[in-house]
Chains A and B, each alone.
Chain A
Amino acid sequence: MSIWQRINTLDRRYTYLLAWIVVLFPLLNPLGLPIPISPDAHAWYDYVENEINDGDVVLFTPMYGVSGMPELFPMTVATMKHLLTKDVQIVVVSFWNQGPLVFNTLLTQVDPADYGYIYGEDWIRLGYIPGSETAMGSFAANIHTTVSADYVEGRSLDSFPMMADIQQGEDIDVIVSIETGTPGTPEWMRQFNAPFGTPQITGCIGVSVSGMIPYVQSGQLQALMPGLTVSAEYEILLNKPGLAVAGVDAVSTSHLYVTLLVIVGNLAYFMTREDN
Chain B
Amino acid sequence: MSDVLRRIEIPIALTIIATLLQVIPYYFEIPALESAANTASNGVLLVVACATFIGVISIIQVHGKRIQRQSEGWYYSLLVIGLSVIMALTGLPFPEAGLGVNNSIYNWLFINVQTPLGGTMYSIIAFFITSAAFRAFRARNLEASIILVAGTIMVMGNAPLLTNTFPFIADMSLWIRSVPNLATMRGVMIGAALGSIALAVRTLMGIERGYLRGGGEE
A52 CA to B95 CA, complexed, in Å: 35
Of A71, A135, A248, which is within 8 A of B48 by CB? Answer: A135
Please name the residue on chain B nearest to A149 by beta carbon: B93
Contact A135 B45 (CB under 8 A): yes
Count of chain B residues near A, Cβ 8 A: 61
Contact B42 A65 (CB under 8 A): no
CB contacts under 8 Å to A, within B100-120, are 101-102, 107, 110-111, 114-115, 117-119
Of A34, A100, A141, A152, which is within 8 A of B38 by CB? Answer: A141
A206 CA to B155 CA, complexed, in Å: 10
A269 CA to B134 CA, complexed, in Å: 10
Contact A213:B177 (CB < 8 A) given known A142-B38, A255-B158: yes
Of B102, B110, B184, which is within 8 A of A101 by CB? Answer: B110
Please name the residue on chain B nearest to A104 by beta carbon: B107
Residues in B neighbouring A142, C-beta threshold 8 A:
38
CB contacts under 8 Å to B, within A122-151, are 127, 129-132, 134-135, 137-138, 141-142, 145-146, 151
A residues adjacent to B (C-beta < 8 A): 10, 12, 15-16, 18-19, 23, 33-36, 38-39, 65-71, 97, 100-101, 104-105, 108, 127, 129-132, 134-135, 137-138, 141-142, 145-146, 151-154, 195, 206, 209-211, 213-214, 217, 227, 229, 232-233, 248, 251-259, 261-262, 264-266, 269-270
Residues in A neighbouring B95, C-beta threshold 8 A:
153-154
Q: In the assembled complex, how far is the CB of residue A164 from the closest CB belonging to chain B, in whole angstroms?
A: 20
Contact A130:B45 (CB < 8 A) given known A35-B160, A217-B178, A256-B161: yes
**1/0 contact trace for B155-182 toward A, CB 8 Å?**
1101111111001001000100110011
A16 CA to B131 CA, complexed, in Å: 7
Contact B186 A214 (CB under 8 A): yes
Contact A214 B38 (CB under 8 A): no
Query: Is B185 an interface residue when CB atoms closer than 8 A count as contact?
Result: yes
Query: Is B127 an interface residue when CB atoms closer than 8 A count as contact?
Result: yes
Contact B114 A66 (CB under 8 A): yes
Q: Can you report 6 residue pairs joining A to B where beta carbons are below 8 Å apart?
A: A16-B130, A34-B164, A130-B45, A131-B48, A251-B158, A255-B162
A265 CA to B49 CA, complexed, in Å: 49
Contact B137 A213 (CB under 8 A): no
Contact B158 A100 (CB under 8 A): no
CB contacts under 8 Å to A, within B46-102, are 48-49, 51-52, 93, 95, 101-102
Contact B174 A39 (CB under 8 A): yes
